């Protein structure tokens, strides 16, 4: 009634190949979650606010309805050159860069001529 079934080398190879794919899939999933977790942590630390300066005071600017301290913050043009506080004028486009909720630099863009 029951006979010993011989397993061909082809069936054996298929069985081992399947486990290799499973292992590769598991490694892929672990790698994906590792990269996702690292990038998520980085995304929380670095943020940017972009907009037009609405108001300027001695030590702060107002952009998109919020005030941001400028004292001790690097002011740069789009080429990375250092600018003075006089460059902060109403209507200028800026990008305010934060790391760990602290302003690290402000890029001030030149006026665009149309």
Q: What is the CATH number of the domain that holds 102?
A: 2.40.50
Which range of residues forms the domain containing residue 72?
Answer: 47-108
In a domain, 11, yes or no: no
| pLDDT tens-digit map of 47-82 | 899 999 999 999 999 999 999 999 999 999 989 999
pLDDT > 80? residue 86: yes
pLDDT > 70? residue 113: no
pTM tops 0.85: no
Q: How far apart are CA 8 and CA 82, in angstroms?
A: 74
pLDDT > 80? residue 8: no
How many structural domains are present in the chain? 1
In a domain, 9, yes or no: no
| pLDDT tens-digit map of 16-57 | 555 677 887 787 777 776 776 665 555 557 789 999 999 999
């Amino acid at each position: 009634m029951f006979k010993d079934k011989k397993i061909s080398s082809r069936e054996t190879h298929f069985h081992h190949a399947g486990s290799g794919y499973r292992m590769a899939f598991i490694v892929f999933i672990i790698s994906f979650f590792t990269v996702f977790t690292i990038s998520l942590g980085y995304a929380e630390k670095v943020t940017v606010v972009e907009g037009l300066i609405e108001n300027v005071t001695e030590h702060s600017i107002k952009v998109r309805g919020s005030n941001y301290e400028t004292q001790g913050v690097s002011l740069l043009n789009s080429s990375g050159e250092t600018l003075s506080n006089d460059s902060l004028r109403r209507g200028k486009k800026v990008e305010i860069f934060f790391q760990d909720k602290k302003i690290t630099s402000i890029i001030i863009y030149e006026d665009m001529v149309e």
